[in-house]
């Protein structure tokens, strides 16, 4: 599968998940940056390896580090992600 085909497949999988999340969670109440961060986290987690906050801060390029920390807290508060210390 070409890289472009893999990206398209990932996009459709994300859209399917988001449709379900919109109907069953408070996702709609989140601001666009927090939604974008969740989408990035979701796609990254498809790689089936641990995701650390440091990686989110430096690799997501969604917003500033302080904003990302706030958005992570919002995602945890609405139950879309679980955060644990290691």
pLDDT tens sequence across 40-79: 888 888 777 888 888 888 888 888 888 889 999 999 999 9
- Residue 76 confidence (pLDDT): 93
Q: Per-residue pLDDT for 22 more than 90?
A: no
Of the CA atoms within 13 Å of residue 38, those in its CB half-sphere come to 27
| C-alpha span between 9 and 31 (Å, rounded) | 26
Which two tokens mark 69? 């920390």
Helix, strand, coil shares, percent, the chain, to 5? 70, 0, 30
Which two tokens mark 83? 């955060």
Report pTM. Answer: 0.72
- Residue 3 confidence (pLDDT): 67
Q: Per-residue pLDDT for 86 more than 80?
A: no
Of the CA atoms within 13 Å of residue 69, those in its CB half-sphere come to 4
């Amino acid at each position: 599968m070409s890289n472009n085909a893999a990206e398209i497949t990932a996009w459709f999988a994300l859209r399917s998940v988001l449709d379900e999340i919109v109907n069953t969670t408070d996702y709609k109440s989140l601001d666009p940056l927090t939604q974008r961060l969740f989408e990035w986290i979701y796609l990254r987690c498809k790689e089936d390896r641990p995701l650390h906050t440091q990686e989110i801060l430096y690799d997501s390029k969604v917003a500033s580090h302080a904003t990302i920390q706030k958005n992570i807290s919002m995602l945890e508060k609405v139950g879309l992600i679980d955060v644990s210390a290691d």
